[in-house]
Amino acid sequence: MTSRLTIEYRGTEFAGWARQDGQRTVQAELERALGVVLRCRAVPLTVAGRTDAGVHAWGQVASYEGDPARVESLNALLPDDIAVLECVTAEAGFDARRDATSRAYCFRVLARRARSAYEHGRALHWPNGVVLPRLEACARALEGTHDFTAFTPTETQHVRFSRDVLAARWTETGGGMLDFWIEADSFMRQMNRVLVGTMLEVGRGARSVGDFERLLRGAPRSAAGPTAPAHGLYLVGAGYNGNRVLTQPLTNRPLFWTDVRFGSGA
Task: Report all structural domains of the chain as residue ranges with CATH numbers, in order of start.
Answer: 2-89 (3.30.70.580), 101-259 (3.30.70.660)
Active site residue 147: no
Distance CA 266, CA 261 (A): 10
User: Tens of pLDDT along the chain (266 residues)?
Assistant: 999 999 999 999 999 999 999 999 999 999 999 999 999 988 999 999 999 999 999 999 999 999 999 999 999 999 999 999 999 999 999 999 999 999 999 999 999 999 999 999 999 999 999 999 999 999 999 999 999 999 999 887 777 889 999 999 999 999 999 999 999 999 999 999 999 999 999 999 999 999 999 999 999 999 999 999 999 999 999 999 999 999 754 443 334 333 443 333 32
Enumerate residues 6+ apart whose C-beta is below 8 A from 113. Answer: 127
pTM: 0.92
Tell me which of 52, 99, 185, 211 is the catalytic residue.
52
Task: Report DSSP state, residue 150.
Answer: G
- CB count, 10 Å around CB of 198? 24
